[in-house]
Amino acid sequence: MTDMRQSDGKQLFDLGWLVGAIDSEGCYILAKQYHHRSKVLYFFPEIDIANDSVEFIANCQRIIKEQFEVGPYIRTVMRDTGKVGYRVSLRGVKRLHQALPILVEYEVSKKEQAKLMLEYVNNRLTVNRGTPVTDRDIEIAIALRKLNNSHNDININIPKRLNN
């Protein structure tokens, strides 16, 4: 992991920029997966950032590589309007295990989502691959989905945070 206490503050600035990108253009996702052979339900964790600007996505990719020393996934998406969009994703339990402790510390508006994702990732690291999800894993997925759908709700702590 890179040392964010460098005297120039560039790494801390980059981390703040990435957290802002996640807060505005990103989301924390637990995608439902079903393994047909073994009949096991599991969730695939992912942080996804979408934007129409290739420069914006390239900057997210650079920061993720530098800060967490993992490679993100990049996708090009053709929208219904004919416009091209881009997505950068940080996926998988092991990759997120490196990034989430830092993101949780600096996250602002999606802090609860980041905490839930970190709990899920930490839980899944303690079990063997292919282990079915627990009741708590399902609770986390439901809570995360509700938080992701509540983007129009105003949290009472936001004005306090902005005025400080």
Cα separation of the two ends of the chain: 31
How many Å apart are CA 83 and CA 73, to the nearest integer?
Answer: 20
Domains, the chain, in order of start with CATH, read: 10-150 (3.10.28.10)
Judge whether residue 75 has pLDDT over 50: yes
Are 104 and 23 in contact, with CB atoms under 8 Å apart?
Answer: no
Looking at residue 9, its pLDDT comes to 67
Query: By mean pLDDT, which of 1-5, 42-46, 49-53, 149-153 is the weakest?
Result: 1-5
Looking at residue 152, its pLDDT comes to 52
Are 47 and 22 in contact, with CB atoms under 8 Å apart?
Answer: yes
Judge whether residue 123 has pLDDT over 60: yes
Which of 52, 46, 51 lies closest to 72, judged by CA?
Answer: 46
Residues with Cβ within 8 Å of 97's Cβ and at least 6 positions away in sequence, in order, are 121, 122, 125
Looking at residue 132, its pLDDT comes to 83
Judge whether residue 154 has pLDDT over 60: no
Looking at residue 161, its pLDDT comes to 43
pTM over 0.85? The answer is no
Query: Which segments of the chain does DSSP mark as H helices, in order?
Result: 10-25, 54-68, 93-106, 111-125, 135-149, 157-163
Judge whether residue 103 has pLDDT over 60: yes
Find residue 34's DSSP bridge partners. 41
Per-residue pLDDT tens over the stretch 32-67: 877 767 677 788 999 999 999 999 999 999 999 999
pLDDT band at 4 (very low <50, low <70, confident <90, very high): very low
Looking at residue 2, its pLDDT comes to 43
